[in-house]
Structure 1
């Protein structure tokens, strides 16, 4: 049994994880933290890590960058591994996470979906083969009209994954309207679409001479992210200090 403390338990993702854990005999939420009290949960909810009385095996964070240091300090002092699902971290935040990983195991990913992380493996292989063959690379991501950040953290994760195997030589281009010039061969174009209730749609396009290859992932509900977070919590429970990602979870299955 994995006992977790859930940060952001009253958010949309927090409630999805709460729902799924009820039917999973291998995991239990023993406490949550949230500034909101709009939901009733089958576990105690605190507004600060300083007030938590229970001892969990893993902290799962589906919240916001605010309060990151307090959570990291708690995890370090209690030697509790962390699954960090929050996006939008600053460079300073990332430095804090890296420093904390010297003392505890931290799994950080911009997208917890097993499908997206399988897609990452596919596009890295494709980028190695096609990028060197003169194929242009474009990413198109689509989300609901309430999403405030663009491009999505997942789109950047996809771009970074390909750029890594391409030697970091590619620049990212988000808007072509300001410059009238032909496309540079060493660039990855990233386009964002916002509309309706689209949960998440990510497509990587490899466009070559007379042929196009498209690799696409469509999320139909947030449940896929919650399932990935639960798998990550089971994986990270007894790991040594260090930084991990969802590729490590896939490799362990």
Structure 2
């Protein structure tokens, strides 16, 4: 049996960081060598009542082979520089990146493998593929994307809804910027042919729900995904990290990982 992969978690005290550490505790494929954070919990043990792994600002002396980042733009910037300098593969789900950080990520792909995703749910990744295929197969049908999240979410539409819109636009060889309709109010007139509509719900504790309606004359195809447990995002990131470690430098994505599975 091969040895476990050395892995670092960046943003370890955040909600996603804690979910990752809980799952990784029992995953024999990995050895967590660093739980990197910048909070008041520095120095505390990661798992209550257990010695060993503690929250820290310091990267380990022996470089990990892969890092998973769910920190924030500042944390990602620092992690990216370290990973690039030490040849560490990087999986990141951090959002809200300015153009400068996006440019740094793009430049880093010349030196290390990088996999970035707005949503690490493997089910959502499959949904994107299905949406792209449905949009391509039914080019003249109307297409709308409906999404619902908890009442604390501050952005709309969700990043996942936008990714589904990009998939639909790619299936039809059009630009989402030119096709998207984000609001309908008042006397809007007939629907513009080829538009991709969005509808948003915010309420309660909804983890995340996404539906894509492809609507023809007398029939409708509905594709949907409902998340009931936030750990699905951590599970997907862990699978991505295991797949990414040892890859050649470049910009990788979950869709490529799924395509590889289909070829087995």
Structure with the greater relative contact order (CA < 8 A, sep ≥ 6): 1 or 2?
Answer: 1
Matched position secondary structure for 2:64: coil
Question: Residue 165 in 1 paired to residue 171 in 2?
Answer: yes
Matches within 5 A, 1:145-156: 145-156=151-162
Tell me: CA distance 1:179–1:70, structure 2 relative to 1, closer, same or farther (3 Å): farther
What is the aligned partner in structure 2 of residue 115 from structure 1?
123
Structure 1 moving runs of 4+ over 6 Å = none
Matches within 5 A, 1:83-102: 83-102=91-110
What is the aligned partner in structure 1 of residue 70 from structure 2?
62
| Distance apart, 1:209 and its partner CA | 1.2
Match of 1:52 among 59, 76, 94: 59
Matches within 5 A, 1:1-253: 1-38=4-41, 40-42=45-47, 43-47=53-57, 51-54=58-61, 55-130=63-138, 132=139, 134-170=140-176, 171-177=179-185, 180-253=188-261
Determine the C-alpha separation between the residues in 2 that align with 1:178 and 1:93: 39
| Distance apart, 1:169 and its partner CA | 4.2
Aligned residues: 248
Tell me: CA distance 1:121–1:5, structure 2 relative to 1, closer, same or farther (3 Å): same
Task: List alignment gaps of at least 5 residues for structure 1.
Answer: none
| Distance apart, 1:124 and its partner CA | 1.0
Matched position secondary structure for 2:157: coil
Task: List alignment gaps of at least 5 residues for structure 2.
Answer: 48-52
Asked whether the 8 Å contact 1:5–1:32 carries over to 2, the reply is yes
Matched position secondary structure for 1:176: coil
Matched position secondary structure for 2:196: strand
Determine the C-alpha separation between the residues in 2 that align with 1:192 and 1:64: 25
What is the TM-score of this pair, normalised by structure 2?
0.89
What is the aligned partner in structure 1 of residue 50 from structure 2?
none
Asked whether the 8 Å contact 2:33–2:60 carries over to 1, the reply is no
What is the TM-score of this pair, normalised by structure 1?
0.92
| Distance apart, 1:59 and its partner CA | 1.0
